[in-house]
Structure 1
């Protein structure tokens, strides 16, 4: 089979597009013929080995996982003897970031609990856009932010991969949603249901008087003091994306703020799990959430180009690569 191989940390151009052996299926695994994959921030961390702390998990000197790729959508080819939830022919989607990666390939062997049945109202391309970004948004809002119906929620960076899902999920949870984005993405944010949208190129967020119960930092470079000021008393800021400087500020200053004031500030790392994939499937089939796709590439060989585009930071929604032509 064809696959994208990572033998060294570096730019997308260091990736190789090679013939490799098809995975050997273990008893607890499902062999999936991959139809589409999507690109996430985790792919860049795996590619470049930055931030350097990530190398403790991904390999100190060179990549531990030779075939990158987390989000997939495809069709079950075969199942191990201990698999009970799937059978050949099932359409599935999943996030492989907690089970060895390997998605940038024509076939991948995955643990049964890493995937779920694909939403019936999505194509493979649309379904591949969902897992990591949607579950990150879901867990950041529901689990870390404890969002409740009627609360005021701000999504800073509501037009990116995680942000577009966060806006829709917050609405599905009953919140009133404000989001921040650039001029070219205002219409997208309105289309997916944001109650209030403002353009950071025209208005200084730090000067706004509104206060929020929960703020999700999905992108941007704001100092955490700005977010702290925008929180209501007992409000919560959740960093899920954005600059490394912002991430380290939350790591180092967040605990002090949490002790000193009645506000919570913390980083958040998504945890891939089947239960939340099923939850997202239900929201999508109910019409409450839909993936926003910025750009689609054709074939595994275009993954380096897709990564370069994604790393530019201007995608409005998700970047997806078709592996099998429709």
Structure 2
């Protein structure tokens, strides 16, 4: 089968096309013919091996798993003899959290992994896009911030893959949403449901007089130190970027009852229930996919280059 294989850490060009063996499902696995996969900043980070913790976990000199990609959607081609709830022909959305592998024509996943059937009115590309940003946004807003009706939430990077779904989810939880983005993305963020919008090229949200119950830095550009002045007395600062400073601030602020800093390894916290919940919201129109660009599998390096411009709106999707 065709796959995009990473031969070392480095620039996008280290990812090259190769023919590799097609996998066979184990007793409790399903074989998925992949139709769509997602590309985001985390995929670029794994390709580069930065920050250093990635190399410490996934291989010091070269990646332990040569085929990258976590979120995938496709059609089940075969199932193991002990699989009970998924059958051949099902359209499924899955996450390969432990060993990646979405940038290939086929992937085997355990039935017990984050893997759900896609609603009939949702395409493969839409499903994988919503999973890409929506699963992370859900973990931070619902599970970490415990967002409630009437709370005020500010989302920095509101037009990105995590941010655009964070806006939609925050509105689902009946919060008042302020989105921070550039002027060119105001219409997109407003359509997603933002009540207020701040153009970061014209105004610094950390210097406004308004206070927020939650500040979600979905792009990891502003620190807890700079954001805490716009947090309420018991406000929560969330960030998607793992830095030593945020770990220290999490530990320190957890000792008190005031403003808190929170980071979570959202990818490792995903499960079937989360994906099923996101697909149900997509099915009824509460969550809508926002796809910026599509690239064929062989142009994965170009897709990652575009992601690294930090100018994408919503998702970048790999098509098969």
- Using the size of structure 1 for normalisation, the TM-score is 0.94
1:296 aligns with 2:279: no
Residues 86-235 of structure 1: matches in 2 within 5 Å?
A: 86-96=86-96, 98-112=97-111, 113-235=113-235
Q: Deviations over 1:256-292 (max 9, x none)?
A: 2443561111211112211100000111111111111
Match of 2:276 among 275, 278, 302: 278
Indicate the residue corresponding to 2:236 in structure 1: 236
Give the one of 274, 293, 309 matched to 2:306.
309
Larger mean CA deviation between 280-289 and 121-130 belongs to 121-130
CA distance in structure 2 between the aligned counterparts of 1:248 and 1:316, rounded to whole angstroms: 28
Q: Is contact 1:76–1:91 with CA below 8 Å preserved after alignment? A: yes
Q: Is the 8 A contact 1:99 1:114 kept in 2?
A: no
Once the two structures are superposed, the pairs formed by residues 61-72 of structure 1 within 5 Å of their partners are 61-72=61-72
Aligned to 1:319: 316
Which deviations, in whole Å up to 9, do the C-alpha atoms of 1:42-99 show, x marking residues without a partner?
Answer: 2112211110012222112210111111111110000011111110100011111x23
Does 2:257 correspond to 1:267? no
User: What's the secondary structure of 2:66's corresponding residue?
Assistant: coil
Q: Contact (CA 8 Å) 2:72, 2:102: kept in 1 or not?
A: yes
Alpha-carbon displacement from aligned partner over 1:236-255 (angstroms, at most 9, x marks no partner): 111114xx6xx333122343
CA distance in 2: counterparts of 1:277 and 1:135, whole angstroms: 7
SS in structure 2 at match of 1:233? strand
Partners of 2:98 and 2:120 lie apart in 1 by 25
Is the partner of 1:26 in helix, strand or coil? coil
8 Å contact kept, 1:224–1:249: no
CA distance in structure 2 between the partners assigned to 1:82 and 1:207 by the alignment? 58
Using the alignment, how far apart are the partners of 1:68 and 1:14 within structure 2?
A: 12
Contact 1:95 1:132 in 2 (8 A): no
CA RMSD of aligned residues (A): 1.4
* TM alignment of 1:74-85, pairs within 5 A: 74-85=74-85
Partner of 1:253: 249
Is the contact between residue 43 and residue 68 of structure 2 (CA under 8 Å) also seen in structure 1? yes
Runs of 5+ in structure 1 lacking a partner? none
1:75 alignment partner, SS class: strand
- Which stretches in structure 2 are left out of the alignment for 5+ residues? none
CA distance in 2, matches of 1:133, 1:318: 8
**Who is 2:11 aligned against?**
11
Q: Do the aligned partners of 2:34 and 2:73 also contact (CA within 8 Å) in 1? A: yes
Aligned runs of 1:37-56 on 2, under 5 Å? 37-56=37-56
Q: CA deviation at 1:220?
A: 4.7
